[in-house]
Each structure stands twice: as structure tokens, then as C-alpha cells.
């Protein structure tokens, strides 16, 4: 067991449902748009397990992106409205790039996606509704789609960048705090076997991406940050080109916390996805 969290049973925890992928004969698939007539939006069959989700606060100084695949950093943003796309691009992007360089020692950071979420009762799947928290264990990229993302976004620089180390890291922050409703859970990557990660098609109108769904394994170790505030940021590793034993893929999911007060405000959050580059050795 990872030394940093060897005393996991001593950490406070809630018992909550994690929605995994049930074992199925066909390849899992999700459409990002309304599919052709007769084809379901998703063929994913869920399998739900109640698991302990541990409070990570007592061990924050001991966890890291390279060991567990996640880290928590304190950062007060200058952004007033995380739902204002222009303010996010002009103010938050530079902040996040600097934060990632400081956390990883990277030479270059490229943010390629922004997703804001505002939980709205009954809005899941409704046209025009805000993006909702994802209640399904997953990883945003795979060993295949990580390099594909680099080639998609970096053009003529892609092959040179792929000669060095590449990471894809999510920067997850509450847009309003404290988060009591639909908090984020994240798994210790070293508790997740490679066989637990299932390539899953993410179908766009013009291309097919790939994510990982997750099979249940009782060895998984799940964590969360209770009452997360807006100046607390979770960094989640969704891909790492290095295969030397460090964490490469950290599953995560929103979950329903059974201790959430009935009058808790709906969760609002923002996540950035970033390509994080390190020059090839010797350069």
C-alpha cells in the first residue's frame, strides 16, 4: 500500500454510492449529441457499490500528482464570475497555467477545455440546461486518446512535444463554496488496476474520442475534500506518458453525500483541462 496513505482506515469517511461500469459484452459508448433514430444515447450499464470515501484533509501534505494522481493546492483567484467565459480566459487561464507550472515543473502548459457545472434538479440531459455533475466513475483520457489530444491541439509542434513527457491535468474548483452538494470524489491511482479501466467511446458529430469507464474493485481507495472552498483547487491527472511507476490515470466522479443538509445550495464548479509538457531529456 502507498506509504502516504497507509493508515487510511484512521481517516474520517462517509459511506456513499459510486457508480461503476457493469461488465458487458459490447464496447461502452456515449454520444455527445442526439444520436440517429433507434440508437440509445449511451449503452453503458451501471453497477453501483457503496464504498467508504475518505476525508483527504488530514493527509493533504502527503499526497501528490505522481503518487496518487491527485493533489490539492490553495489558490485565491482574481476571477469574480467563473461563468463568464471572457473573464475565465483572460484572468483564470494565466492563473491556472502558472499554478500547473509551479505544481509540476512543466516547461509549457496549454489549456484546451473549460467546463462549468451548475446542478439543476431535473436538468440532466435537457437541451440548453447547464452541464450537470457526472455521477459515474471515469477518467477523461486514455493511453490512446492522450497523444491524440496533443496531435489535435498542437499542430506542427505535436510530434516534438510528444518526444518529451506529456500530462493531461484537470484543474477543478468550486465556483461557490463551501461545496456540500454533489462533491467530487477521486481515487488513488495506485489502487486502480489497469484491468479496471475500460476504454469507452465518446462519440462527437465529427470524431470519436476515448475515455475510461471503471470496473468495481474492492481495492479502490476513494477520497474527497469536505466543504471545499473556492480557494481550494483539486488537480487530477487524467493522462501521463511516463510508464515508470508513477500515477497515470486517476478516476473521479461526483457523488451524493448522505450527510448533505437538505437546504444545501446546488453545487457550482469549473474545471479546466490542460496539456502539460516537459522537454525531452537532454534538451
- The pLDDT of residue 3 is above 80: no
- Looking at 117-121, 135-139, 174-178, which range is the least confident one? 117-121
Residue range 70-79, pLDDT digits in tens = 999 999 999 9
What would the grid cell of residue 127 be? 437541451
Predicted local distance difference test score (pLDDT) of residue 142: 98
**How confident is the prediction for the chain on average, in pLDDT?**
94
Q: Residue 32: count other Cβ atoms within 10 Å of its Cβ.
A: 11
Q: What is the CA radius of gyration of the chain?
A: 18
Residue 211: CB partners within 8 Å, gap ≥ 6? 138, 139, 140, 141, 142, 145, 199, 200, 202
pLDDT of residue 226: 97
What does the pLDDT average to over 162-167?
98
pLDDT at 208 over 70: yes
Read off the pTM.
0.94
Cα distance between residue 214 and residue 200, in whole Å: 10
Residue 9 confidence class, pLDDT cut points 50, 70, 90: confident
Q: How confident is the model at residue 8 (pLDDT cuts 50, 70, 90)?
A: confident
Of 270, 261, 189, 181, nearest to 232 by C-alpha is 270
Q: Any idea what the Cα angle at residue 45 is, between residues 40 and 47, rounded to 5°?
A: 160
pLDDT higher for 129 or 271? 271
Task: Please tell me the predicted confidence (pLDDT) of residue 98.
Answer: 98
pLDDT above 70 (res 122): no
Mean pLDDT of 178-201: 97
Residues forming a β-bridge with 271: 115, 172
* Pairing mode of beta strands 252-254, 208-214: unpaired
pLDDT at 125: 55
**Mean per-residue pLDDT, 186-208:** 96
Each residue's pLDDT tens digit, 247-281: 999 999 999 999 999 999 999 999 999 999 999 87
Cell of 66: 505522481
Lowest mean pLDDT: which of 121-125, 129-133, 179-183, 203-207? 121-125
Q: Give per-residue pLDDT as tens, 219-236.
A: 999 999 999 999 999 999
pLDDT band of 65, cuts 50, 70, 90: very high
Cβ contact 170:273 at 8 Å: yes
206 burial (CB, 10 Å; 0-12 / 13-18 / 19+) is: exposed
For residues 123 and 147, give the distance between their C-alpha atoms in angstroms, rounded to a whole number. Answer: 34
Phi, psi of 232, deg, nearest 5: -110, 135
* Residue among 68, 43, 80 at smallest CA distance from 222: 68
> What per-residue confidence (pLDDT) applies to 1?
47
- Which of 23-27, 94-98, 130-134, 173-177 is predicted least confidently? 130-134
Amino acid at each position: 500500500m502507498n506509504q502516504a496513505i497507509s493508515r487510511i482506515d484512521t481517516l474520517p469517511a462517509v459511506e456513499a454510492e459510486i457508480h461503476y461500469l457493469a461488465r458487458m459484452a459490447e464496447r461502452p459508448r456515449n454520444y455527445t449529441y442526439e444520436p440517429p433514430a433507434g440508437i440509445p444515447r449511451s449503452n453503458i450499464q451501471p453497477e453501483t457499490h457503496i464504498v467508504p470515501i475518505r476525508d483527504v484533509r488530514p493527509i493533504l501534505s502527503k499526497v501528490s500528482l505522481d503518487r496518487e494522481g491527485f493533489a490539492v493546492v490553495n489558490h485565491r483567484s482574481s476571477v469574480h464570475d467563473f461563468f463568464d467565459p471572457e473573464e475565465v480566459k483572460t484572468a483564470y487561464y494565466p492563473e491556472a497555467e502558472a499554478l500547473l507550472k509551479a505544481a509540476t515543473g512543466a516547461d509549457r502548459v496549454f489549456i484546451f477545455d473549460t467546463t462549468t457545472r451548475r446542478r439543476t434538479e431535473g436538468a440532466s440531459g435537457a437541451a440548453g440546461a447547464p452541464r450537470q455533475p457526472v455521477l459515474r466513475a471515469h477518467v477523461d483520457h486514455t493511453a490512446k486518446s492522450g497523444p491524440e489530444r496533443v496531435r489535435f491541439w498542437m499542430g506542427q509542434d505535436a510530434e516534438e512535444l510528444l518526444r518529451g513527457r506529456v500530462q493531461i491535468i484537470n484543474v477543478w474548483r468550486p465556483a461557490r463554496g463551501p461545496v456540500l452538494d454533489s462533491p467530487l470524489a477521486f481515487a488513488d491511482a495506485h489502487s486502480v488496476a489497469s484491468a479496471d479501466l475500460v476504454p469507452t467511446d465518446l462519440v462527437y458529430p465529427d470524431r470519436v474520442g476515448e475515455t475510461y469507464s471503471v470496473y468495481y474493485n474492492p481495492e479502490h481507495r476513494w477520497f474527497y475534500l469536505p466543504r471545499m472552498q473556492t480557494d481550494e483547487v483539486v488537480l487530477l491527472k487524467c493522462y501521463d506518458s511516463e510508464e515508470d511507476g508513477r500515477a497515470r490515470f486517476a478516476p473521479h466522479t461526483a457523488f451524493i453525500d448522505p450527510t448533505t443538509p437538505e437546504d444545501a445550495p446546488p453545487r457550482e464548479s469549473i474545471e479546466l483541462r490542460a496539456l502539460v509538457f516537459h522537454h525531452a531529456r537532454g534538451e
